[in-house]
């Protein structure tokens, strides 16, 4: 079986580290092998993210052949609430505690707000980082959007967390259908309080690691979707230009969230850079995503239901169904459903 084809056996174990001030930070491990420390974006929840099918599928795919380590920053998810102000120094302290628990050099991947944190860590602790992957991030948070837009969004999050989470979800996952966006907005609200969400978002806008890029020594991959509405693609170019020898990989798509949109393309480019086996097409010619869609067709799901389950928009789901039908030479969804049901145990 090609690596990454079957991720259902991957499970996560949650543990905790304690900072010098007594704050407890929760972290999770999934898979086995060389460690990949994953610094997540703005708001996180280790348990809820593992229950969200599209997000879990991303982590399962990354964890094949390595040990994926994620953590909830203080004030978010399973970690303790804190009165300490959000800052890059506090972010690095938390990452440092998790790195100490790992206890050996690791590959490091940052996404969104985790990108400047990962850059700062790699610059300050070069001996700990084997390879560095930066997805959907930035070097200068002040350049993410005009000041008026930033103030408006911060105000919404602080005073109307429900509306604020809806607006941000539209920015983070514009290709997702309405029901998926609603689920993602609820997920954000479950991760933290409005005050913490506002403080961490404000930190995102303040983070500036442009002066640290030249100090990064680890081989680096910068990955970005060209239509990302939360982080302009120009920031990816800034990161790649500033880090010596960095490779820039641009992927099509508008979704900022790594598990929304074409998750498989992102996984392939990341795993290839890290030297991990890359999922291949099976003899039936279907990709991993297409087999997921075929499975849902066999369960009687409509295109809208498929989109909601996989965190993609309905048009993408329709496109997957059509490509499956054409690739297998079938005329109807019923034929796809029958074909998959007959072969389910062998796929």
Instruction: Going residue by residue through the chain, which has 347 residues, state the pLDDT in tens, using 9 for 90 and above.
Output: 333 333 345 789 999 999 999 999 999 999 999 999 999 999 999 999 998 877 888 999 999 999 999 999 999 999 999 999 999 999 999 999 999 999 999 999 999 999 999 999 999 999 999 999 999 999 999 999 999 999 999 999 999 998 888 888 888 988 776 777 778 888 889 999 999 999 999 999 999 999 999 999 999 999 999 999 999 999 999 999 999 999 999 999 899 999 887 788 899 999 999 999 986 655 567 888 888 999 999 999 999 999 998 988 888 888 888 888 877 778 789 989 988 887 776 65
CB 16 within 8 A of CB 87: no
- Closest by CA to 309, choosing from 56, 105, 101, is 56
Q: What is the pLDDT of residue 4?
A: 36
Q: What is the dihedral of CA 49, 237, 268, 131, to 10 degrees?
A: -80
pLDDT, position 183: 81
User: Do residues 177 and 313 make contact, with C-beta atoms less than 8 angstroms apart?
Assistant: yes
* Rounded-to-integer distance, Cα 312 and Cα 241, Å: 32
Domains in the chain, please, with CATH? 12-274 (3.40.50.1820), 288-346 (1.10.10.10)
HEC per residue, the chain = CCCCCCCCCCCEEEEEEECCCCCEEEEEEEECCEEEEEECCCCCCHHHHHHCHHHHHHHHHHHCCEEEEEECCCCCCCCCCCCCCCCHHHHHHHHHHHHHHHCCCEEEEEECCHHHHHHHHHHHCHHHEEEEEEECCCCEHHHCCCHHHHHHHHHHHHHCHHHHHHHHHHHHCCCCCHHHHHHHHHHHHHHCCHHHHHHHHHHHHHCECHHHHHHCCCCEEEEEECCCCCCCHHHHHHHHHHCCCCEEEEECCCCCCCCCCCHHHHHHHHHHHHCCCCCCCCCCCCCHHHHHHHHHHHCCCCHHHHHHHHCCCHHHHHHHHHHHHHHHCCCCHHHHHHHHHHHHHHC
Q: In whole angstroms, what is the distance from residue 27 CA to residue 78 CA? A: 8
What pLDDT is attached to residue 261? 79
CB 82 within 8 A of CB 64: no
């Amino acid at each position: 079986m090609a690596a990454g084809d079957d991720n259902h056996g991957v499970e996560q174990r949650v543990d905790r580290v304690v900072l010098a001030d007594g704050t407890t930070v929760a972290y999770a491990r999934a898979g086995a092998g060389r460690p990949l420390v994953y610094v997540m974006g703005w708001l996180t929840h280790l348990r809820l993210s593992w229950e969200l099918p599209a997000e879990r599928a991303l982590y399962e795919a990354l964890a094949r052949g390595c040990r994926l380590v994620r953590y909830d920053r203080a004030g978010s998810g399973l970690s303790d609430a804190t009165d300490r102000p959000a800052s890059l120094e506090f972010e690095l302290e938390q990452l440092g505690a998790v790195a100490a628990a790992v206890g050996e050099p690791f590959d490091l991947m940052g996404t969104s707000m985790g990108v400047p944190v990962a850059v700062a860590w790699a610059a300050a602790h070069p001996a700990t980082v084997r390879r560095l992957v930066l997805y959907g991030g930035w070097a200068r948070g002040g350049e993410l959007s005009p000041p008026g837009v930033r103030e408006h969004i911060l105000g919404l999050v602080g005073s109307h967390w429900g509306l604020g989470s809806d607006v941000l979800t539209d920015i983070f996952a514009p290709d997702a259908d309405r029901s998926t966006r609603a689920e993602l907005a609820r997920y954000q609200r479950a991760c933290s309080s409005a005050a913490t969400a506002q403080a961490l978002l404000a930190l995102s806008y303040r983070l500036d690691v442009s002066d640290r890029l030249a100090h990064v020594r680890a081989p680096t991959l910068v990955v970005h979707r060209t239509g990302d509405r939360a982080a302009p693609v120009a920031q990816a170019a800034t990161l790649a230009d500033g880090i010596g020898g960095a490779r820039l990989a641009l992927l099509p798509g508008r979704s900022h969230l790594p598990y929304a949109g074409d998750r498989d393309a992102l996984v392939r480019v990341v795993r290839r850079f890290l030297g991990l086996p890359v999922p291949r097409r099976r003899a039936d010619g279907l990709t991993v995503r297409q087999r997921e869609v075929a499975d849902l067709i066999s369960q009687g799901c409509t295109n809208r239901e498929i989109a909601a389950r996989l965190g993609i928009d309905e048009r993408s789901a329709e496109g997957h169904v059509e490509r499956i039908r054409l690739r297998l030479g079938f005329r109807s969804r019923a034929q796809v459903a029958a074909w998959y049901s007959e072969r389910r145990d062998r796929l």
